[in-house]
Structure 1
Amino acid sequence: MSNELVISDQSLQVAGDDLRAGVGVGSSISDAPIEALPVEESRSQMLATSEGEKFVYGLERMGGFKTHIQRVQSAVAGMMADLGSERDQRAFMARFDNDLPEPVRYGLYEQIVIGLPTFSTPVSDEDFAKFTAGGEVGRNLAAEWGSMARENIYIIWMRMNYLKARIGNDGMRIFVGWFERLPTRSQSRILKFIATGK
C-alpha cells in the first residue's frame, strides 16, 4: 500500500451543481433544519449536467439510483451531525459546493456508494509514524482508534488511492486543497468517515 496520505495540523498531503443534488440537502447558510432533498429532485438536478448524468446512470447500473443516493444521503447526514450546529453544517456544505468541481464531488459520492474495502492490512511502523508525525489530527485519531489504528490508516490510504484513480491528479489536488482549508475538527471527522464509513 502506498503511503500517499500524511496528516498534519492543517494538511492532508497527497503524492455541479451543489451538494443538494448529491446528498439532498440545501446549501444556503441558515439555522433551518437540514432536510433530505427528495430522490427524484436530486436525480433531476444531476441529470442537468453531463457529469451528473454519468453519475446517475452509473448508479442505475449498480443496482438503482434511489437505493444508492439514499445511502449517500444517510451516510453524509450522519457525518454532518458531528460537524457542529446546523449553521456550521450548512457553511461546510457551501464550501464543499463552491470549492469542489462536479467531477470531484461525484467521485466522492461514488466512494461512499462503493463503501469500505472488504479487507485491510495494518500499515507498517514507518507508515504509522508518517500518519501520526504531522500533527494533532493524525496523533489524536491514532490514539482514539487504538488497536484498530493501523488498519484504519490503511483504509484511508486505499480509499484515497481509489478516489485519485477516479478523479485524476488535478482533481486530487483540488480535493486536498479543500481539505487543508478545513478546521482540524472537520478534517478529523472526514478521516473517521473515510476509515469507518460512519
Structure 2
Amino acid sequence: MSNDLVPFAGAPVGGSDLGRGAGYGSGTAPVSRPQSTGRRAEIERIMQTDRSRYFREGLDQELAELRAANDDGDDFGSPTLPMAPSRSMRSLQATAEGAELVAAWRNSPGGFEAQLRKVQADVGFLVRELGDLRHQRAFMEGFDRRVTERARYHIYDEIKNGSVTNAATATPAELAVFGSTQPGAELLNEWGATASVKVGRVWARVARFRASLSNEADFTSFTTWYDNLSPSAVKAIVKYLAR
C-alpha cells in the first residue's frame, strides 16, 4: 500500500511499472536474495565510482532498503520502509493519473516531498498496527491488487488531507449503525464518551473521499476491498480515520 510509496519485494527493485498496471498482484516473482544481492553490489559500485549519480537517482535510499531486506530474516524486508521521493515520483508519473497527483502535491505547502513524507508516515503507522511483517505484506498486496489505480491515488490524497477538524458529531442513529459490526462495537466501547466525536470524524473523512472520487467503478473497487478485510484490519483503519 503501495509500491508508489514504499518498496515492495513483489515488484522490480526499480519500482512498479504502473504504465502496464503492475502492482502487488501483478504476478511478478518475489525478489530473491541472489537478485537483491546483485542489485546491492551494483549500487555499492556506483556509490564508490559515481557519487553524483548515487544521490541523484535515490540509490542511497534503495541501498538502505536492500540492506534492511537482507537483515530482516526473510526475503522481503520491511514493507513500510519509505521509498525515496525521486523513485516515488518516477513511479507515479508513469501514468496520467499519477502525474496529476504529483502535480497537485507539488502545488501544496512544502511541495511534493512534504506531502509524500506525510502519507508515507501515516501509511507506515497504519500498516504496522496490523501485526507482523507477513500480515502487513498481505494487507498491502490486497490493496494494490483489488483497488484501482485512480482510487488508490484518491486515497493517498485523502491521507494527505488529514483529519476533518470541523466534523459534526455522530447522531445516536449513526452510532447505532457504526456499532452494528464487531469492530464498530469494540471501538464504541473503547471510545466511551468521545465516541460521537470520533465517529463523526470517520463519517466526515469517508464522505470527503467519496465526494472526490466520481467514478463509481473506482469507488466500488475500494468498498469491495474494504468489505473483505479482517475485523482487526477494519478496526485499525477506522481508528486511524478517527484521529
TM-score range, shorter chain: 0.7 to 0.9
Residue in 1 that maps onto 2:2: 19
SS in 2 for 1:75: helix
CA separation of 1:27/1:159 partners in 2, compared to 1, >3 Å: closer, same or farther? Answer: farther
What's the offset of the Cα at 1:32? 1.9
Consecutive unaligned residues of structure 1, counting only runs of 5 or more, are 1-17
Match of residue 115, structure 1, among 158, 162, 181: 162
Give yes or no for contact 2:148–2:222 (8 Å, CA) kept in 1. no
Give yes or no for contact 2:226–2:234 (8 Å, CA) kept in 1. yes
Residue in 1 that maps onto 2:185: 139
SS in 2 for 1:144: helix
Residue in 1 that maps onto 2:77: 32
So what's the TM-score if we normalise by structure 2?
0.69
Match of residue 114, structure 2, among 51, 56, 67: 67
SS in 2 for 1:26: coil
Residue in 1 that maps onto 2:36: none
Q: Which of the two has higher C-alpha Rg?
A: 2
Residue by residue over 1:106-157, the C-alpha shift from the partner in whole angstroms, topping out at 9 and shown as x without a partner, is 110001111101223221111111111x221110011111121111111111
Residue in 2 that maps onto 1:4: none
Give every structure 1 segment of 4 or more consecutive aligned residues whose post-TM-superposition deviation is greater than 3 Å: none
Residue in 2 that maps onto 1:195: 242
Mapping for residues 34-183 of structure 1, pairs under 5 Å: 34=79, 35-63=81-109, 64-132=111-179, 134-168=180-214, 169-183=216-230
Question: Distance in 1 between the 2:154 and 2:178 partners?
Answer: 24
What's the offset of the Cα at 1:25? 3.3
Question: Which structure has more RCO (C-alpha within 8 Å, separation ≥ 6)?
Answer: 1
Amino acid aligned to 1:143: N
So what's the TM-score if we normalise by structure 1?
0.84
Residue in 2 that maps onto 1:15: none
Question: Distance in 2 between the 1:179 and 1:189 partners?
Answer: 12
Amino acid aligned to 1:96: F
Give yes or no for contact 2:9–2:76 (8 Å, CA) kept in 1. no
Question: Distance in 2 between the 1:142 and 1:95 partners?
Answer: 27
Deviates more, 1:99-108 or 1:163-172: 163-172
Consecutive unaligned residues of structure 2, counting only runs of 5 or more, are 11-29, 31-74
What's the offset of the Cα at 1:78? 0.8
SS in 2 for 1:188: helix
Question: Distance in 2 between the 1:99 and 1:175 partners?
Answer: 8
Question: Distance in 2 between the 1:147 and 1:24 partners?
Answer: 37
Give yes or no for contact 1:24–1:39 (8 Å, CA) kept in 2. no
- Count, aligned residues: 177
From the two aligned structures, give the one with the greater strand fraction: 1
Residue in 1 that maps onto 2:51: none
Give yes or no for contact 1:128–1:153 (8 Å, CA) kept in 2. yes
Give yes or no for contact 1:27–1:94 (8 Å, CA) kept in 2. no
Deviates more, 1:64-73 or 1:34-43: 34-43
SS in 1 for 2:169: coil
Give yes or no for contact 2:2–2:144 (8 Å, CA) kept in 1. yes
What's the offset of the Cα at 1:73? 0.4
Amino acid aligned to 2:207: N
